[in-house]
Amino acid sequence: MRKNLFFFTPTMIILISQTTLMLVYMRSWVVLILVLGSFLFVISETDTVNIGAILNFKTINGKVSTIAMKTAVDDVNSDPSILPGRRLSLSFHDANFSGFLSIVGALRYMEIDTVAVIGPQSSVMAHILSHLANELHVPFLSFTALDPSLSPLQYPYFIQTSPNDLYQMTAIAEMVTYFGYREVTAIFTDDDQFRNSISTLGDLLSTRRCKISYKAALTPDSSLSPQNLTNKLLKVRALESRVIIVNTYSKTGLLVFETAKRLGMMKKGYVWIATTWLSTVLDSTGISGNETLFLHGVLTVRPHTPDTEKKREFVTRWKGLSNGSIGLNPYGLYAYDTVWMIAYAVDKFLNEGGSISFSNDSRLKVVKGLNFGALSFFDGGKRVRAKLLETNMTGLTGPFWFNPDQSLVHPSFDVINIVGNQGRVVGYWSNHSGLTVGAPEPLYAKPSNHSSLNQRLGTIIWPGNTKDKPRGWEFSNNGRPLRIGVPLRVSFKKFVTQVNGSHDIHGFSIDVFIAAIKLIPYPVPYEFVKFGDGYKNPSYNDLVHNVAYNVFDAAVGDIAIVTNRTKTVDFTQPYIESGLVVVVPVKKLNSSAWAFMRPFTPLMWAVTGFFFIVVGAVVWILEHRLNDEFRGPPKRQLVTILWFTLSTMFFSHRENTVSTLGRMVLFIWLFVVLIINSSYTASLTSILTVQQLSSSIRGIESLITTNERIGFQVGSFAENYLKEELNIPQSRLVALGSPEEYAEKLSTGIVAAIVDERPYIDLFLSYRCQFQIVGQEFTKSGWGFAFPKESPLAIDMSTAILTLSENGELQKIHDRWLKRESCASQDSNSDSDQLQLESFWGLFLIFGIACSIALLLYFGMMLWEFGKHHSDSDTPEESQKTGSGSGSRSVRLQRFLSFADEKEEVSKSKLKRKRERSTVNGTEVDSRNRSNRIQAEEQNVNT
């Protein structure tokens, strides 16, 4: 160490500087040289290692830390294994809540050769003094200045020796997410530490789809008046959010809760989360009976320290160290460990050959009359800083070493619920595993797991002494109901309509909204505000923008959920499916007796018939020599060929093929017949059952390729979609205002098609059957109710709509307003989908003619055969019995019927026998005798 020939305080420096200026002004250079010479120093070694501390003695942490650090110095000096032959000396400086005094204290330590400074206590001064530390290479260590923006890259010589507020804000953000809240209000003191911490909290919440909806910044303690605080809390009370984060000093924080209690903000429905200042009060001073009235149910966090034997021993010693004046809190433990951390680092530095020496910095010169020559540069500061960051020890706070980013390992917090005057630990948060009900130490040996399924806290008593989790938001109590914007439609009024002669608004969309809002478990005052002039449908984009700009608190109606709208507002769950479709005119196919001929062209019929004949001839040629079924008289073979080839049409041919070539040809032909039959059947079915379009448009793709004009509904998003997404020019688009105009423009051909949303078109087609949807829906969306971004009411309304869908009420509302009646009922009554006789009488005529011809030919042949039979079988005796040559008509008819009933072979046999009996001429007798003689001779020969 170095001995000063003269010791100067900062006040003396100022006086000397002023004197110097006077001497310069008097042009007395000799006196100036004498004054500057007083800053010469002689460097010598000493056995004392000086460290300093800058604290606010009157604060809780100032009192606790002072006791803890003095105890740590005594323990270090009594341990022969640490800094042997040297003595650790700690001096304190009371900043007394003054930034100026903090600077004075820091300058004082830079003059007396201090190897490290513990402090400052506030982040406001840490930002300032860190520049001094960087310049003189003297490490500053703080366990209370925890501003996340104190970056080690910018301030390498400033070291935070307890978990900084980044981790505390992460713990709070995960608590907010765990409880499912979307918005919070932040009350904080407007200085570097608390402001930057709240900014960090906002960033963390945004990554979890939450946000800070309002920031109530408080002036520092000295200038905060009760009226100012009351006004701030009144603004907070008027907000919808009931989740409030309090990040401030302990004195201000207690005043915030006391005022909140007086304003009725500590009742059921509120969520209050305080940062570590409240746990510090709880541990060190306790909560008085009066304070329990306004702190009951509040949540807070506390730096977590493992329950070790070393910690328990120190807690036991604490009562004697503090004489019962103040309780121990975690920051007292970190203060104790910080002293030991410095001792270990300096000891290691010295053991490795380092020496504690200081020198003048040539860069520190007189600047505008101020002499900084008394400030000394720590020669070994860079190496001591490195040894500090290499610390690896187990202290009262558990494992104590640093990550590469200069943060402490295993940052963790206790989650505490204030119940009465006690603090109940309901869980823990760690950077390793998030929220847990058990201590984090056993989890460090397992893989990190932040899964939402593993996040858990114990039972919490909330403000109002309830265990039911608050909803987290309420309607502001300013007496104004929600202003619900409703589009005043002039067409398709079944969705939204105003009752004639009254101000009541009804319709499908309105009834769904009313039914859903009745399911919300809290009262929602609202009033409908009409949007539109009543002469044309309003712009729905403008309606949504009014919600985004807070002109309306919500919008209810047939509002399509599309991308550009979701960027500015939040929509509920869709209550009806929607999507753009194309509508065109249609005409039904006129019934025709020859409709069955339409599937094939005449040429197709001719070619098909020709190939039937060709196949028969080819198979006959291939089978004739091998197959007996294809042999015989020419007449029989011709019939076989014709029958075989025609029967293949129905796969009912009975002739077998035996040749390989014949089977191959037949196999291929049967496959061709299968394709022809299937195609014929499908085509005929389509012709007889499907309506035929009056245009070539088959969907949106074919509509785009044409130059036809397209109609759309005024106010619908269809216009923008057609122009911006499908690049259809404006000149092709025609705005239409009503279903009647739809029908007129389509029927007259002014527009070739209409593009609109499916619910409108379904209602339009329910009583206009001459039009039809073509193609598929080319967008998929739905209708919902619009609310401002992050509105919790949108979530509750979505839940209510899902409930309506599940219990069937939504479908009942749909049927009440949108049930298809006219066109649908006509179709069902007339059975228009059934096939009529007119489409088939040609087939029946052909079949009837074929049957008639076949019967005529058959009866003609029968009469010819009967006549032949009758003429040969009538004898003179029989003719005499009938009374005439032709016989009576009745007898003749009976004979004909008997003849027709007999089998052909029997009839031929009778005819043959009668001929033999009726023959009396000699030739026939001789032939009979000759036959008898031949038979007799044959019998004799055989005998």
Contact 349, 81 (CB under 8 A): no
Three-state secondary structure string covering 257-275: HHHHHHCCCCCCCCEEEEC
Indicate the range of 306-320, 440-454, 640-654, 733-747 predicted with least confidence: 640-654
The 10s digit of each residue's pLDDT in 820-877 is 655 544 444 444 445 454 554 554 566 467 656 755 776 777 778 777 776 654 555 5
Predicted pLDDT at 459: 94
Of the two residues 634 and 438, the one the predictor is more confident about is 438
Predicted pLDDT at 21: 36
Question: How far is 599 from 38, CA to CA, in rounded Å?
Answer: 120
Collapsing DSSP to helix, strand or coil, 828 comes out as helix
The pTM of the full predicted model, rounded to 2 decimals, is 0.66
Q: Is the pLDDT of residue 140 over 50?
A: yes
The 10s digit of each residue's pLDDT in 543-566 is 999 999 989 999 999 999 998 899
Instruction: Indicate the DSSP class of residue 89.
Output: E
Contact 339, 72 (CB under 8 A): yes
Indicate the range of 169-173, 355-359, 707-711, 904-908 predicted with least confidence: 904-908
Predicted pLDDT at 917: 65
Instruction: Indicate the DSSP class of residue 884.
Output: S
- Mean pLDDT calculated for residue range 76-105: 91
Contact 584, 743 (CB under 8 A): no
Q: Residue 582: which H helix or E strand, with range?
A: strand 580-587
Place 6 in a pLDDT band, splitting at 50, 70 and 90. Answer: very low
Instruction: Indicate the DSSP class of residue 191.
Output: S
Instruction: Indicate the DSSP class of residue 462.
Output: B
Closest CA to 405 of 151, 143, 197: 151
Q: Is the pLDDT of residue 795 over 70?
A: yes
Question: How far is 223 from 235, CA to CA, in rounded Å?
Answer: 19
Predicted pLDDT at 29: 34
Predicted pLDDT at 7: 38
Tokens of 265: 């903000």
Predicted pLDDT at 185: 96
Question: What amino acid is encoded at 295 in this protein?
Answer: L
Tokens of 747: 């029927």
Highest mean pLDDT among 199-213, 671-685, 893-907: 199-213
Question: How far is 745 from 713, CA to CA, in rounded Å?
Answer: 12
Question: How far is 439 from 352, CA to CA, in rounded Å?
Answer: 39
For the chain, the distance separating the N- and C-terminal CA atoms, rounded to the nearest angstrom, is 167
Proportion of the chain above pLDDT 90, given as a percent? 45
Residues facing residue 425 across a β-bridge = 416
Burial class of residue 309, CB neighbours in 10 A (0-12, 13-18, 19+): exposed
Greatest CA span in the chain, whole angstroms? 192
Beta strand 781-788 with 554-560 is antiparallel
Predicted pLDDT at 589: 55
The 10s digit of each residue's pLDDT in 30-78 is 333 333 333 333 333 448 999 999 999 999 999 999 999 999 999 999 9
Place 253 in a pLDDT band, splitting at 50, 70 and 90. Answer: very high
What are the distances in angstroms from CA 632 to CA 617, 620, 621? Answer: 15, 12, 14
Which strands form 422-430's sheet, in the order they lie side by side?
Answer: 211-218, 183-189, 243-247, 271-274, 299-303, 412-419, 422-430, 434-436
Question: Which residue is it, tokens 């044309």?
Answer: 536
Strands (E) in 619-767, as ranges, are 692-693, 710-713, 733-736, 753-757
Q: Is the pLDDT of residue 658 over 80?
A: no
Place 161 in a pLDDT band, splitting at 50, 70 and 90. Answer: very high
Three-state secondary structure string covering 371-430: CCCCCEEECCHHHHHHHHHCCCEEECCEEECECCCCCECCCEEEEEEEECCEEEEEEEEE
Q: Is the pLDDT of residue 445 over 50?
A: yes
> What does the mean pLDDT of the chain come to?
81
**Nearby residues of 314 by Cβ (< 8 Å), 6 or more positions away:** 328, 333, 336, 396
Q: Is the pLDDT of residue 693 over 60?
A: no
Tokens of 483: 């202003």
Cβ neighbour number for residue 705 with a 10 Å cutoff = 10
Question: What amino acid is encoded at 229 in this protein?
Answer: L
Q: Is the pLDDT of residue 174 over 90?
A: yes
Place 528 in a pLDDT band, splitting at 50, 70 and 90. Answer: very high
Of the two residues 283 and 111, the one the predictor is more confident about is 283
Proportion of the chain above pLDDT 70, given as a percent? 79
Q: Is the pLDDT of residue 298 over 90?
A: yes
Predicted pLDDT at 636: 75
**Nearby residues of 634 by Cβ (< 8 Å), 6 or more positions away:** none
Q: Is the pLDDT of residue 786 over 70?
A: yes
Predicted pLDDT at 189: 94
Q: Residue 214: which H helix or E strand, with range?
A: strand 211-218
Q: Is the pLDDT of residue 503 over 70?
A: no
Question: Which residue is it, tokens 């004489």?
Answer: 323
Collapsing DSSP to helix, strand or coil, 716 comes out as coil
Three-state secondary structure string covering 840-852: CHHHHHHHHHHHH
CA-CA-CA-CA torsion sign (812, 814, 816, 822): negative
Q: b/e per residue, 646-682, with b = 16+ CB within 10 A?
A: eebeeeebebebebeebeebbeebeeebeebeeeeee
Of the two residues 105 and 15, the one the predictor is more confident about is 105
Q: Is the pLDDT of residue 18 over 50?
A: no
Of the two residues 371 and 614, the one the predictor is more confident about is 614
Question: How far is 517 from 508, CA to CA, in rounded Å?
Answer: 14
Cβ neighbour number for residue 714 with a 10 Å cutoff = 17
Q: Is the pLDDT of residue 699 over 70?
A: yes
